[in-house]
A = this chain, B = another copy of it.
């Protein structure tokens, strides 16, 4: 890692606190990721990306800004990165997945709020997230009550714009969402000083679809027995999708998929063929929330898919074909996003169907439904997910946790019992 201290100082990071964070991340990554056996060679690139997540990638963002480009921070798959790209911007995810930042949100947002939301705000407050510090603007969205209220608070500390979300999928809701996307375009045009051109947008959507196709290809390979890649490694790729340079990332994911496809032919796995296979379903596992996967995989179980925003809800729905006009493209983007089966919608029965299909398609032996504490929408849906999976004869375990290490033993015990029961 190079010397980035001047850059971090310029970004107004709290250097001492940030050193502390990097120290923890490095240690955890070594223990969880580098200790894995039989990893694909292609993971070396992603290891490198993690090691330079606060260094080289941030330097790239600054170089982009030095050339007049804008950085747009976002928390959600509903913020269309192709629109940002078409306006010459780079969209990045923000730091969210670590207990480290949660206490810094105390007094600003109730403690009975999901840890992802608390950490998002905490990372701004304790000045340890170089992504938020690099963001010229944050784009929020009303996907849940917790985020909706968090963005009001965040707006006091960082330029923030919030996009409204419909909660039903009626024609009126679609019209409203299209209007909101158009309002977002106006906002981002003002921010970037550019005009959204149909050609640039279709090129950007094309890049996004190529990226999603690469991730889909990688995930398809996981259906093989033995699983050619660990759940931890596949999850990492989905996490990095929110941060890395899009063309480089797409290339590296395709290289990794080539390798996995070759491994499948050789019957070479990251786990043995008899390893119990689990589908993950639930709330996002943002970087670096590796707790559940590392506990499960240390028990010899392998995760073979993620029905999650960091997973299938990001890469599944393709942008529908359209007439190429700006209006047509924006409507197509709305339809792509409204095809995302998030628990923010009601009813959201398509999500239950997705989980059952994914469990079958990935040859999973069971499903772990997991939600972050105080996430009301996913916690509530766990009841109907359990019901549907039981009906389909697929074992299911519902868990709730946060980013802290406190309940590690408890999770381990419950996972062990679940795996025993599946046998």
Contact = CB atoms under 8 A, between A and B. Distances in A.
A376 B179 contact: no
Contacts of A348: 152
B153 A164 contact: no
Contacts of A108: 383
Contact of A346 (B109, B151, B168, B179): B151
A380 B117 CA distance: 12
Interface string A160-198: 001011111011110110011001000000000000000
Interface residues of A, number: 47
A376 B170 contact: no
A149 B162 CA distance: 23
A2 interface: no
Nearest to A346: B148
B164 A164 contact: no
Interface in A107-160: 107-110, 112-113, 142, 144-146, 148-153, 155
Count this chain's copies in the assembly: 2
A29 interface: no
Contact of A149 (B166, B183, B376): B376
A168 B172 contact: no
A329 B167 CA distance: 25
A260 interface: no
B107 A383 contact: yes
A149 B112 contact: no
Among the interface residues A108, A110, A113, which one has the most CB atoms of the partner chain B within 10 A?
A: A110
A166 B180 CA distance: 11
A173 B167 contact: no
A405 to B, nearest CB: 21
A374 B112 contact: yes
A43 interface: no
Interface string A47-78: 00000000000000000000000000000000
Contacts of A170: 164, 179-180, 183
A167 B164 CA distance: 6
Contacts of A381: 149
Contact of A175 (B142, B151, B175, B376): B175
A96 to B, nearest CB: 17
A347 interface: yes
Contact of A380 (B109, B180, B347): B109
Given A165-B167, A168-B162, A112 B142 contact: no
Contacts of A148: 167, 346, 377
Please indicate which of the listed interface residues A145, A149, A173, A343 has the most CB atoms of chain B within 10 Å of its own CB: A145
A101 interface: no
A166 B164 contact: yes
B377 A376 contact: no
Contacts of A183: 170, 172
Given A142-B167, A164-B173, A379-B112, A149 B346 contact: yes
Interface of A: 107-110, 112-113, 142, 144-146, 148-153, 155, 162, 164-168, 170-173, 175-176, 179-180, 183, 343-344, 346-348, 373-374, 376-377, 379-384
7 contacts: A109-B380, A109-B383, A113-B376, A145-B377, A150-B380, A176-B176, A376-B376
